[in-house]
């Protein structure tokens, strides 16, 4: 049975998951309920994706509230995994519609006509602001 390791937010843990034979990684801070001062999942994503070196898939869980969040996650190298529970089925449909519309608008504004057009060059992160070199993908 394939095992996905959830709660990975560092390169060290990502390398350990790959080395241990995990089928995939889920970048998650468990809603930041477990520890104070846990980084946002989007802030940890790039480090984890880089450390996994494409050997196993890396997914993002949490912090996805808008279509622009979907765009950022894809630009940093991960598809998005998220759960929605508000106002039953109608609420889920509404949120998914809103996210899709925002995501499509963000793609258009970014000059992307297909998912494969979304690259790391489309976003600016805290690490960029601090002058850290961009990881090689």
Half-sphere exposure at residue 101, Cβ-oriented, CA atoms within 13 angstroms: 6
Q: What is the DSSP string of 78-95?
A: --EE----SSHHHHHHHH
- From the list 6, 30, 55, 120, the catalytic residue is 30
19 is catalytic: no
**What is the C-alpha to C-alpha distance for residues 79 and 66, in angstroms, rounded to an integer?**
14
Catalytic center residues: 30
């Amino acid at each position: 049975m394939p095992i996905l390791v959830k709660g990975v937010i560092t390169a060290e843990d990502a390398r350990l998951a790959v080395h241990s034979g995990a089928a995939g990684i889920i970048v998650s801070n468990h809603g930041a309920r477990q520890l104070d001062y846990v980084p946002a999942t989007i802030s940890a994503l790039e480090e984890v994706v880089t450390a996994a070196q494409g050997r196993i898939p890396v997914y993002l869980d949490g912090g996805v509230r808008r279509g622009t969040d979907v765009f950022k996650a894809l630009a940093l190298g991960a598809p998005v995994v998220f759960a929605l529970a508000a106002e039953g089925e109608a609420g889920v449909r509404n949120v998914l519609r809103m996210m899709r519309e925002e995501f499509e608008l963000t793609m258009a504004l970014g000059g992307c006509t297909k998912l494969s057009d979304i690259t790391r060059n489309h976003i600016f992160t805290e690490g960029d602001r601090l002058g850290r070199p961009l990881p090689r993908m």
